[in-house]
Structure 1
Amino acid sequence: MTEAHSQALSAKLAKNRLYQDCFKYMQSDSLALPTIPDVSVKIRRAINEPNANSNKIARVVQIDPSITARLVKISNSPLYRGRRKIESCPEALTRLGLKAAQDIITAFALKAVFNAKSPVIRRKMQELWAHSSYVAAISAVFAHKTPGFDPDRAMLAGLIHDIGVVPILAYADRQPEILANPTDLAEAVRELRSPIGVQIVRKWDFPSDFEDVIIHAENWHRDSGETASYSDIVMISQLHSFIGKIDIKQMPKLDELPAYKKLAKGNLDADLSINILDQAKDEIEHIRQMLT
């Protein structure tokens, strides 16, 4: 960015009250951040107990029938399906593993965070959730087909890659007059989604590499080294999510990106990657439905 461009951007942001307010509250650590859903906290606490087992965890999970049903459903999905059909919560937890189940349950519960009162902001929250859940579904499929990655963790990583936008929308929801200029929201999101997102995953005590997922979700040409990471999977998945929605000329070429080359080197089939939306569309749609 040239100095002139930087000065012009600073001048624009100085007039953007939404940006200024959110930046000020973020800097003072007083911006209202979303709270991780209660069911996720209870599951994490139960799983970390010394004598944790599937039956004990199931009793906690079954407090929420909706999450129980979706947990059983995903244990029978192509991502995890075994020789026999799973029909109970303890069986689902045994097949998935307790750590994987924790990530999956957190993903299921996160939709409650994407909510607002005003129709305009509620619609934007719904659009954000639709995008995030689509990226999450593609990330899970990529991880399933790439050695060394867990689909459940990739799904959760994809789901939170834009979590930093939620407090910005929530603030605008409480201050409707602040959105007089439609470009103000886009500018605030562009500048603040990463630092606010990092604050959230630290507050939620998520794995430290999820910070990289948030920071580098759109850093297309980033090369983080020889080993592929969850941030690489989420970034490539996000590019796939734009197919058919954004002019292809505005998108970088997949096979030229360092992240793509690392994933392909890990035996991800090149044709599958390019055509994943067609070849794995049923699998992706299955995960999206469970998330929504």
Structure 2
Amino acid sequence: MTEAIPNPKSSKLAKNRLYLDCYKYMQSEKLALPTIPDVSVKIRRAINEPKANSSRIARVVQIDPSITARLIKISNSPLYRGRRKIESCPEAITRLGLKAAQDIITVFALKAVFNAKTGIIRRKMQELWSHSSHVAAISAVLAHKTPGFDPDRAMLAGLIHDIGIVPILGYADRQPDILASPTDLAETVKELRSEIGVQIIRRWDFPTDFEDVVNHAENWYRDSGPQATYADIVMISQLHSFIGKVDIKKMPKMDELPAYKKLAAGNLDADLSINILDQVKDEIEHVRAMLS
């Protein structure tokens, strides 16, 4: 017996085949979720070994020359830069630390998830990657300026905040005739991105607080308590990423948001201004370029 789909919230959704199909497969746990890239799995396994060290981890990382090069490059970036230039993979991992290296390698590897065969969906995936990597770069720099947060973890949080959209695009890629109009995709994303995103976070065994990142990336007036969280970092980063792209009149004022107030009150430097991210735009673009 097939599971009945609840009454759609509007007559529009009742006519949206993409929504109805994705919802049905999501509920039955048959929606094809992306798998975490193999290199990330290998790194996680290697780091959890009792004798894990930088040299052992480097041997695994160096299987992928592209990730190796970017790991060295980010270890020399303003986020992690030390007194001397890093020139080898083991040195980069030593500077970053094993856990940070794992998060960063996962960030670099995740680009492979944002892929499609058909032209229209491939462009949508590229747009999603561009947006997600921009938010990831801002999150990393904002976390770097905020005591108590790790740039690498914030970067990963920023990158996966919209991960729930990937399976929706993936389904549309396999069923190209199902998209009757761009509105169908927008409606489906709006209704299902969070639920599907949480399924992926759990499948990938990511930190549980990343579920809040997925659920509340655009819940602008949410107040989770007195302490700022990675969800707050990603929310403010995403709002900043919209500058120049979205009608400012449709966006909330940043300094009115609980997330911003928490970051400003006790976690950021005293010279904080609402334009702090404008002041470090070169750092943001540097990180963004590495992700691209």
What's the TM-score, normalizing by structure 1?
A: 0.96
The CA deviation string for residues 98-145 of structure 1, in whole angstroms up to 9 with x for no partner, is 000000000000000000001100000000000000000000011000
Query: In 2, distance between residues paired with 1:149 and 1:133?
Result: 18
**Counterpart-to-counterpart distance in 1, 2:270 and 2:115:** 38
> How many Å separate the matches in 2 of 1:72 and 1:93?
8
Separation in 2, partners of 1:83, 1:77: 12
Q: Secondary structure, in 3 states, of the residue corresponding to 2:81?
A: coil
Is the contact made by 2:142 and 2:277 (CA closer than 8 Å) also made in structure 1?
no
Unaligned runs of 5+ in 1: 1-6
| Corresponding residue of 1:33 | 33
Q: One-letter code of the match for 1:285?
A: E
Q: Which residue of 1 aligns with 2:3?
A: none
**Equivalent pair of 1:194/1:215 in contact (CA under 8 Å):** yes
SS of the residue 1:148 aligns to: coil
- Alpha-carbon distance in structure 2 between the residues aligned to 1:125 and 1:102: 24
After TM superposition, the score normalised by the length of structure 2 is 0.96
In the alignment, the residues of structure 1 paired with residue 271 and residue 88 of structure 2 have an alpha-carbon distance, to the nearest angstrom, of 37
| Alpha-carbon contact 1:272-1:279 (below 8 Å) kept | no
Query: What residue in structure 2 maps to residue 96 of structure 1?
Result: 96
Structure 1: distance between partners of 2:14 and 2:211: 27
Q: How is 1:98-137 mapped onto 2 (pairs within 5 angstroms)? A: 98-137=98-137
Aligned residue in 2 for 1:185? 185
Map 1:207-286 → 2, pairs under 5 A: 207-269=207-269, 272=272, 274-286=274-286
Name the structure 1 match of 2:22: 22
Could you report, residue by residue, the CA deviation over 1:202-238 in whole angstroms, capped at 9, with x for unpaired residues? 0000000000000000000000000000000000100
Runs of 4+ in structure 1 over 4 Å off: 269-273
Which residue does 1:3 correspond to in 2? Answer: none
* TM-aligned CA deviation for residue 8 of structure 1: 8.4
Are the counterparts in 1 of residues 172 and 179 from structure 2 also a CA contact under 8 Å? yes
For 2:273 and 2:186, the matched residues in 1 are separated by 30
Q: Name the CA shift for 1:269/1:244 in 2 (closer, same or farther; >3 Å).
A: farther
The reply on whether 1:63 has 2:63 as its aligned counterpart is yes
- How far off its partner does 1:19 sit? 0.2
Report matched runs for 1:71-86 at 5 Å: 71-86=71-86
Which deviates further from its counterpart, 244-253 or 74-83? 244-253
In structure 2, C-alpha distance between the alignment counterparts of 1:65 and 1:267, rounded to whole Å = 37
1:45 aligns with 2:45: yes
Identity fraction in percent: 84
Shift of 1:247: 1.2
SS in structure 1 at match of 2:122: helix
Residues in 2 aligned to 1:49 and 1:217: alpha-carbon distance in whole angstroms: 34
The 8 Å contact of residues 147 and 266 in structure 1, kept in 2 or not, is answered as: no
State the shift of 1:269 in Å. Answer: 4.6
Task: Provide the rounded CA distance (Å) in 2 between the counterparts of 1:236 and 1:269.
Answer: 16
